[in-house]
Amino acid sequence: MSYAELHCISNFTFLRGASHPEELIDRAAELNYAGLALTDECSLAGIVRAHVRAKRYQLKLLVGSEFRCLDGERLVVLAPCAASYAALCQLISAARRAAAKGDYRAHRQDLERHLGGSQCLLLWLPDGTEDLQTGAWLKERFAGRLWLAVELLADGRQRETYAHYRDMAKSLGISLVASGNVHMHCRERRMLQDTLTAIRHKTPVKELGLKLYPNAERALRPISELRRIYPPQLLQETLTILERCEFSLSELRYDYPSELVPSGETATSHLRLLTEQGAAWRWPRGVPDKVARLLEHELKLIEDLQYEPYFLTVYDIIKFARSKGILCQGRGSAANSAVCYCLGITEVDPARMNVLMERFISKERNEPPDIDVDFEHERREEVIQYIYEKYSRERAALAATVITYRPKSAVRDIGKALGIAPEHTDRLAKSLQWWDGGAVRIERLEEAGLDSASSELRRLLELVECLVGFPRHLSQHVGGFVISEHPLSRLVPIENAAMPERTVIQWDKNDLEELGLLKVDVLGLGMLSAIRRSFELIDGFYARKLSLADIPAEDPVVYDMISKADTIGVFQIESRAQMAMLPRLKPRNYYDLVIEVAIIRPGPIQGDMVHPYLRRRNGEEAVTYPSEEVQKVLERTLGVPIFQEQVMQLAIVAAGFTAGEADQLRRAMAAWRRRGDLQFFEQRLVQGMLKRGYTHEFAQRIFKQIQGFGEYGFPESHAASFALLVYVSAWIKCHEPAVFFCALLNSQPMGFYAPAQLVRAAREHAVEVKPIDVSRSEWDSSLEVAANSSPAIRLGLRLAKGLSKAGALRVLAARRVRIFDDVEDIAQRAALDAKDLGALAAAGALKAYAKNRFRARWEVAGIEKPRPLLRGTRIPEAVPMLKVPSEGQNIVADYRHVGFSLGRHPLALLREHLKAAGIRAAEDIKAMRNGVHVHAAGLVITRQRPSSASGVTFVTLEDETGYLNLVVWEQLAVNQRRELLGARLLGVKGHVQQESGVLHIIAERLFDHSDWLGELVTQSRDFR
Amino acid sequence: MQMPQAAAHSPGLAPIPEAHEAPRDKQLWLAIQCSTPDLDSLAAWAKTITPLVSLDAPDGLLLEVRGSLKLFGGLTAIKQKLSTEIQARRLPFHACAAPTALGALWLSRHHGDDVFSAEKLASRLGDLPIQVTRWPESQLQLLSDMGIRNVRDCLRLPRDGFGRRLGQRYLRDLDYAFGKRIDLRPCFETPHQLIRKIEFAEETANLEVLRNVAGDIVEHFATQLRSYQQQAQSFGVFFHHHKCAPTYTELLLISPAHEKHRILEPLAARLERVDLPAPVTALEMRAEQLQAMEIQMNQLFQGVDAETDSFELQMLVERLRGRFGESGVYGLKLMPEHRPELVWVKLTDRLLHDSSETSPVSPWADERPLWMLPAPVPLDDGVMRFQYGGPLRFESEPERIESGWWDNRDIRRDYYSALTACGEKLWVYRDCLTRQWYLHGIFG
């Protein structure tokens, strides 16, 4: 006899379930269960993952949820049909919305209200103390679909319990069914389950006593074992229930919102109308034939797939943003269509690209189109509020992001659960670096000065490894909106987010994608803020209005600048890896930029696509294709797959995958690092290619490339939109550097570089940068007319650390009334407090009124709150004997209070000292040949450890003559971790590696010279 | 004049009385920098050098040593004595002397040398970086922003201007340090522990003598405790010997006390049991875990008998414990724990007070045997045959217990109650890993 488990929670019942949904499904299939119900407590957050996994085994998955009512009843609710699924979703939503984030409140009456009219099946889980009244109450309302679940968990009283329940069921006239109250997929998870209990109770395990389960019976148990425990009719009853449940998540149907179509129109006719209007706007002198044909083709495709409401929804959001002057741009599979260009969703002119919409929307794949819209990062909230208002909270909600345990949080929580001294776990957690990834290695213990032989600490590591990746709570996705025609709560449960008035659905973006639900990503992009500011600055300085569409295309001077890797601040291509690539790739047109954006990604790097592409581009390697079909797919990238779409296309044309299978492959690619199930496709891929006459070597190479791509492959559809912003930002930098850097400074924090590097780059572009000055600066950095009548940057008050915005605005208002007499006048008229005054003085912004910053600090510190009687009187004071700040002291103060200095670079002051130590300047090193040994040093400005670079850390150093790029191999990084991570002034001995004008120093030994800097405060930006 | 620190009003700290204060130009302060959680005990010890000891938490100790110079033979001798004591505690430290308390403290924080004259003090303090003042970070940052690096830079600023910007407190600190203002410091009083050591003129092993001396010490403690309005629960007794390490015994009362007879009676019983390896040169006692005295109200109408009984019982237990040791007399407590062997624990502390405290126990605890074996006994056929006359008959279904991985005493067992051929009811289990059977308890 078989068995179906009807009461099983996963780790989406946070801090109780001790297995992933996938693990439960795998195990249930392995044990030959006839089915499994995933019944997380008042949650469906794990159900899609289980659904996807169960399809693989064709295991029947039941959708359900466990509840503990405030009146004490415990129940499992199962959804046998689509209508009852909607009722379950609504019950969960109601219970979740009635409580604070992470909690729920359900009364008996809620069960009655939401489930009364439905077909939901109920398993009653008495805990032995209930009276029959509860049962009778349930029976009265849920007759014919109520069972009493018997859970025998080896407590020594199985017979007694069973007899008791049998009597109860008999007197109520309901049936008994077996269930297992499953918390974990296998018994070995007992240790983790106990630990989760400890974390939940905020009590160390050893003090939990009877709050722990007495044994590991709450695992999926082999059927043979269950047969020994339960009478056969109880096992049989599980199958009866399984039979009655016919609902599968695959049945979910979803309707796009329809109100965007004016009456009298259909969605199709309305979209056509808007497209035609847009085309007339884009091509005032008539739409070119080629485009007209393309539009016709696309509209037909959209009509066939009934995607009009989706395009209309995105169009509506963009229209709102435009009306508010919020810069935005779409990207993604459908965004680069001619239709989207006409609708203004993107600025990527189809004439500039060989756009084939099928590449982005496929009739056969039948997956929803994907458009992400980037908005200025500081104004995205306005757009979100608009969507809520327009569609109501019933019909629009943000997707969830599942926040999972990371090593640091796992170490801290498990440390507490094991009763390990917090200072120990704290030391260990702090020693974990952003690059250490999932597992915590034993060496970290030693490094944190802990005893690696301690069994307690080893247990900690073992548990950490298990817990990392477990969901902790649901947070809101950065901007993934689900919008529906009908209330969403019938489709998926909705719960409260941490932010007041915010709700999230219980599914994340992968879940939505799996089920084919429409999602619009409303994202924030710093560069759009910077570009909008640039346009405003240009308008202010030259009285010239620009928009994204007005930037002259394909300007060769811009490409010259890009090819020299002069790209600090430019969107996407400013990282050092990108900068190392530019002189080799030498982009000359828009499509080169599309490639540049996509090629410097972990995927292509690990799939070893960069070098073959470069060789072919430089004519050093013949461009060949194994077949005509492959040529069609890879021609635009010289035979090397660079984009995600190409990989999927290859699988279709070379290995005979269907479009649907190719899509599965893409998802598997995204997840294989986590779940490692790409092998399943390897065989199919290789055999498919061999069958079609490709060589084994070619097949293996393609598979290796796919594997390398992993989750980091970049779609062409996104690269195309990004490349446009790359070009626009590069154009502004090239032609209006003062505007560009001024806008970037005002949009911080964003991008790869700190203000210090941006200011330096501006000055290298011959832009005059003037210091913060309370008599001239605005809040933002602004443009002033320089001596040569070109624009100069005046640093804004916002750069003075510790100065409040409100205080600064009062200063500006007072200054507009009348210029200031002295420091006291500023303080009194702008009503500044001591903190704001101190910030101004320390930042050197009071130079116009005090001799130097020491004197300014003294003066502002002496200003007292004005008292009504003493207004206007001044306390006579002796002149302080203060020193005049030295150059070094000024630089130190600049770095501390502004973050950078307009004076000399700190290392210029140390140069003699550095020289004496045999340390060379960056400029000298540039002229060196390959292989020369050097000794260099500089301020650490970035450290980067890309996951694609197999353990290599890239460090950028800065001195007064330029930048140096270090390559630190993994072994050295391990041996000299302290220097690598701790040093602000890092010394390095190593050898020069020079290729196509790109210079690296391969580090052999590192030195921490930070003590030479004295009190200088510097900060590195660290990236993954 | 204002008190320099609010701490002066804390319990246990009293200002140094005017009468004790030497003319300030005659003062010599020895500042000790020493990081130890046990600064109090060091301060208590320091009182053996001078009564004028002041704490500067968390790591500073100040001793006014002018009056002690003669007694101990000069500053070097005092520092030597100090060094011996602190080194015995294995602590790193730095000590230096100066005519002002704060001056000495600042110098000691910078590991400075002794200074005896006011002129020298001014010059040496001037060179110190402002960080030695340990003023709040905000004040130090403010000074640093004005380009001020050392104490001398501060003195170059206009006095009133400095006070207005930094705060009068910091101006006063400068005055204290340079001796321009009298620095009244709270005097340390031992609040947490009492120590008394009596050295014998000649070594002795005579119990009678020891008992008398102990009686004196207890009497002294009782007086002190009364004057502090405190009581103690634990007493450490050290019997110092000529050539070997001291013999130590600890007396733990079941409730705190301050009365001589409550302490002395169990102590006398204890002394009789102490095994001394050598004659005693000195007897030292420490009263620990001092706590505020609880005032017992005499009840007018009821409970007098119960009260008396309880007191009698306490005295009985204490007498028994004095005789058999703390571990010889204990209480029992049920613990909320799945592992059967850990369900009962012995209580040695506060054993009479726990009767009212109940903790949740396993719901099946009442079905477990009253007599648990100290350790499970393996059951094999031989044992079964010879001891129980044949195989067992199981009476219950298995109760599976899997618990305890966190303290390396993980168990995985199936428990059963079973009847022997002779009708005896046993509690047995099978280890899930080894499949071996064990006897763990016998039902009454």
CATH of the domain at B158: 3.30.70.270
B160 with B198, same domain: the answer is no
Give the B-side interface with A, CB within 8 Å: 142, 144-148, 153, 156-158, 160-161, 164-166, 335-338, 359-362, 364, 367, 396-403, 405-408, 414-415
Instruction: Determine the residue of chain B that is closest to A875 in CA distance.
Output: B161
Q: pLDDT of A256-296, one tens digit each?
A: 888 888 888 999 999 999 999 999 998 999 888 888 988 99
Distance CA A480, CA A504 (A): 10
- What average pLDDT does range A967-975 have in this prediction? 89
Band of pLDDT at residue B310, cut at 50, 70 and 90:
low
Is residue A763 pLDDT above 60, yes or no?
yes
Torsion (CA) A268, A269, A273, A279 in degrees, nearest 10: 40
User: Considering only CB atoms, which chain A residues are within 8 Å of B153?
Assistant: 883
Contact B164 A889 (CB under 8 A): no
Contact across the interface for A854 and B406, Cβ inside 8 Å: no
Considering CB atoms only, which of B161, B400, B408 is closest to A862? B161
CB contact (8 A) between residue A214 and residue B402: yes
- Has residue A222 got a pLDDT over 90? yes
Q: Which two tokens stand for residue B268?
A: 């006398």
A-chain residues within 8 Å CB-CB of B338? 209-210, 212, 214
Same domain, B116 and B216: no
Tell me which residue in A215, A418, A842 faces B400 most closely, judged by beta carbons. A215
Q: How many CB atoms lie within 10 A of CB A919?
A: 22
Q: Nearest CB to A841: which of B145, B362, B403?
A: B145
Task: Determine the distance in angstroms separating the CA of B267 from the nearest CA of chain A, rounded to an integer.
Answer: 35
B224/B287 same-domain check: yes
Determine, yes or no, domain membership for B139. yes
Question: DSSP per residue over A475-510, as a string?
Answer: EEEEEEEEE-SS-GGGTS-EEE-SSTT-EEEEEEHH
- Closest approach of chain A CAs to the CA of B383, in angstroms? 25
pLDDT digits (tens, 9 = 90+) for B76-130: 999 999 998 888 778 889 999 999 999 999 999 999 899 998 889 999 999 999 9
The answer, yes or no, to whether residue B302 has pLDDT greater than 50, is: no
Q: What is the CA radius of gyration of chain A?
A: 33
User: Is A214 within 8 Å of B403 when comparing Cβ atoms?
Assistant: yes
Nearest CA-CA distance, residue B88 and chain A, Å = 27
Average pLDDT over residues B200-229: 82
Q: Which residues of A touch B336 (CB under 8 A)?
A: 209-211
Q: What percent of chain B has pLDDT over 90?
A: 27
B116 with B168, same domain: the answer is yes
Is the model more confident about A1017 or about A644? A644
Contact B406 A838 (CB under 8 A): no
**For residues A471-480, average pLDDT:** 88
At a CB cut-off of 8 Å and minimum separation 6, what does A16 contact? A9, A41, A183, A196, A197, A200
Question: Are residues B29 and B79 both part of a single domain?
Answer: yes
pLDDT at B311 over 80: no
User: What's the average model confidence in pLDDT over A76-94?
Assistant: 95
- Measure the CA–CA gap between A878 and A856, rounded to whole angstroms: 15
Residue B108 lies in a domain: yes
Q: Which of B125, B152, B178 is the last residue of a domain?
A: B178
For residue B279, give the CATH number of its domain: 3.30.1490.100
Please tell me whether residues B170 and B229 are part of one structural domain: no
* Cα of B132 to nearest chain A Cα, Å: 17
**Residue B323 domain flag:** no
| Rounded average pLDDT over A581-610 | 84
* Lookup result for tokens 């010997």: B241
Q: How confident is the model at residue A797 (pLDDT cuts 50, 70, 90)?
A: very high
For residue B336, the chain A residue with the least C-alpha distance is: A209
pLDDT, tens digit, 9 for 90 and up, residues A642-696:
888 788 788 888 888 877 777 777 777 665 555 556 677 788 888 888 998 888 8
Point out the least confidently predicted range of A395-409, B9-23, B161-175, B415-429: B9-23
In this complex, do B147 and A885 lie within 8 Å of one another by their Cβ atoms? yes
Confidence of residue B298 (pLDDT cuts 50, 70, 90): very low
* Residues on chain A touching B401 (C-beta within 8 angstroms): 214-215
Q: B325 lies in a domain? A: no
- Name the average pLDDT for chain A: 88
- Contact call for B402 and A842, based on CB within 8 A: no
Farthest CA pair distance, chain A: 100
Which of chain B's residues have a Cβ under 8 Å away from the Cβ of A157?
364, 397, 399
Mutate to test the interface with B, among A857, A867, A1016 (most CBs of B within 10 A): A857
Last residue of one domain, picked from the residues B150, B178, B206: B178
Q: Is A778 left (phi over 0), alpha (psi -120 to 50) or beta?
A: beta
Q: What b/e sequence results for B400-415 when a residue is b if at least 16 CB atoms lie within 10 Å of its CB, and e otherwise?
A: bbbbbbbeeeebbbbb
Contact call for A459 and B153, based on CB within 8 A: no
Q: What is the CA radius of gyration of chain B?
A: 32
Q: Residues with Cβ < 8 Å from B48, sequence gap 6 or more?
A: none
Among the residue ranges A43-57, A447-461, B425-439, the one predicted with the least confidence is A447-461
Adjacent-strand bridge partners of A330: A373
Over residues A99-122, the pLDDT tens digits come to 988 899 999 999 999 999 899 999
Q: Are residues B170 and B203 in the same domain?
A: no
Mutate to test the interface with B, among A203, A215, A217, A463 (most CBs of B within 10 A): A215
For residue A92, which amino acid is it? I
Which pLDDT tens digit goes with each residue over A301-341? 889 888 888 899 999 999 999 999 999 999 887 777 889 99
Of A679-683, B83-87, B133-137, B360-364, which one has max mean pLDDT?
A: B133-137
- Nearest neighbour of B398 by CB, restricted to A154, A194, A864: A154
Residue A312, sorted as left (phi over 0), alpha (psi -120 to 50) or beta, turns out to be alpha
pLDDT band at B354 (very low <50, low <70, confident <90, very high): very low
Residue B75 pLDDT grade (very low, low, confident, very high; cuts 50, 70, 90): very high
Calculate how close chain B gets to A118, using CA atoms only, in Å.
39
Of A455 and B121, which is predicted with more confidence?
B121
More confidently predicted of B69 and B310: B69
Same structural domain, B371 and B285 = no
Residue B418 in any domain: the answer is yes
Residue A553 reports pLDDT greater than 90: no
Beta-carbon separation of A156 and B397 below 8 A:
yes
Q: Are A474 and A45 in contact (CB under 8 A)?
A: yes
Nearest residue on chain A to B360, alpha-carbon basis = A210
Q: Give how far Cα A466 sits from Cα of A46, A48, A190, A460, A463, Å.
A: 18, 22, 12, 10, 5
Task: Calculate mean pLDDT across residues A835-856.
Answer: 90
Q: pLDDT confidence of B3, banded at 50, 70, 90? A: very low
Nearest CB among B142, B396, B414 relative to A861 is that of B142
Which residue from A155, A206, A214 is facing B407, i.e. has the nearest CB?
A: A206
Label residue A215 by pLDDT band (50, 70, 90). Answer: very high
For the segment A366-417, what is each residue's pLDDT rounded down to a tens digit?
666 778 899 998 899 899 999 989 998 888 889 999 999 988 899 999 999 9
Same domain (yes/no): B10, B132? yes
Nearest partner of A182 among A421, A318, A13, A365, judged by Cα: A13
Minimum mean pLDDT range among A500-504, A620-624, A661-665, A922-926: A661-665
Of A799, A815, A881, nearest to A849 (Cα)?
A815
**Dihedral, CA of residue B96, residue B101, residue B102 and residue B108, to nearest 10:** 10
> Is B32 within a domain?
yes
* pLDDT band for position B227 (cuts 50, 70, 90): low
**Chain B residues within 8 A of A876 when measuring between CB atoms:** none
Report the number of distinct structural domains present in chain B.
Answer: 3
Q: What's chain B's average pLDDT?
A: 80
**Better-scored residue on pLDDT, A513 or B236:** B236
Q: Is the pTM of this model over 0.80?
A: no
In a mutational test of the A interface, the residue from B143, B362, B397, B440 whose CB has the highest number of chain A CBs within 10 Å is B397
Based on the domain organization, do B174 and B216 belong to the same domain?
Answer: no
Residue A684: the pLDDT is 84
A237 CA: distance to closest CA in chain B (Å): 24
Specify the 3-state DSSP secondary structure of A920: strand
Which range is least confidently modeled, A4-8, A112-116, A943-947? A943-947
Nearest beta carbon to residue B403 from set A212, A882, A884: A212
Q: Which residue in chain A has the smallest CA separation from B166?
A: A861
| Between B433 and B311, residue with greater pLDDT | B433
Greatest mean pLDDT range, A158-162, A513-517, A795-799: A795-799
Domain that holds residue B198: 194-292
Span A73-102, mean pLDDT?
Answer: 94
Which residues of A are less than 8 Å from B359 in CB distance? 209
Instruction: Give me the residue from A158, A880, A893 closest to B157, CB to CB.
Output: A880
Q: Which residue of A has its CA nearest to B361?
A: A210
Going by pLDDT thresholds of 50, 70 and 90, the confidence category of residue A862 is: confident
Percentage of chain A lying above the pLDDT 90 cut: 50
With vertex at residue B142, the alpha carbon angle to CA B141 and CA B144, rounded to the nearest 5 degrees, is 60
**Contact: A215, B415; criterion CB under 8 Å:** no
Render the burial of A282-309: b for 16+ CB within 10 Å, e for the rest.
beeeebeeebeebbebbbebbeebebbb
Q: How far is CA A495 from CA A62, A99, A261, A489, in A?
A: 22, 9, 30, 9
Across B195-205, average pLDDT: 87
Residue contact B164–A212, C-beta within 8 A: no
Closest-CA distance of chain B to residue A854, Å? 4
Asked if residue B216 is part of any domain, the answer here is: yes
In this model, does residue B9 exceed pLDDT 80? no
| ipTM at complex level | 0.71
Q: Is the Cβ pair A455, B362 closer than 8 Å?
A: no
pLDDT score for B22: 40
User: For residue B132, is pLDDT > 80?
Assistant: yes
Same-domain status, B269 and B232? yes
Which candidate, A984, A993, A1005, A946, places its Cα nearest to that of A965?
A: A993
With respect to residue B355, please indicate whether it lies within any of the assigned structural domains. no
From B160, B337, B407, residue closest to A209, measured CB to CB: B337
Contacts of A848 (CB under 8 A, 6+ apart): A773, A774, A775
Interface size between A and B, measured as CB pairs under 8 A: 111
CB contact under 8 A, B397 and A158: yes
| pLDDT confidence of residue A561 | 96
Query: Which residues in A lie closer than 8 A to residue B343 (C-beta atoms)?
Result: none
Tens of pLDDT, residues B379-405: 887 776 667 777 888 888 899 999 999
B164 with A864: Cβ contact below 8 A: yes
Check residue A42 and give left, alpha or beta (phi > 0: left; psi -120 to 50: alpha).
Answer: left
DSSP type of residue A155: B
Domain's final residue, options B131, B147, B178: B178
In Å, how far is B63's CA from the nearest CA of chain A? 34
Exposure on the CB side of residue A274, measured as CA atoms within 13 A: 26
Q: Indicate if B251 and B168 belong to the same structural domain.
A: no
Q: How far apart are CA A46 and CA A38, in angstroms?
A: 8
B142 CB neighbours in chain A (<8 A) are 838, 857, 861
Strand partners, B418: B394, B426
- pLDDT class of B1 with cuts at 50, 70, 90: very low
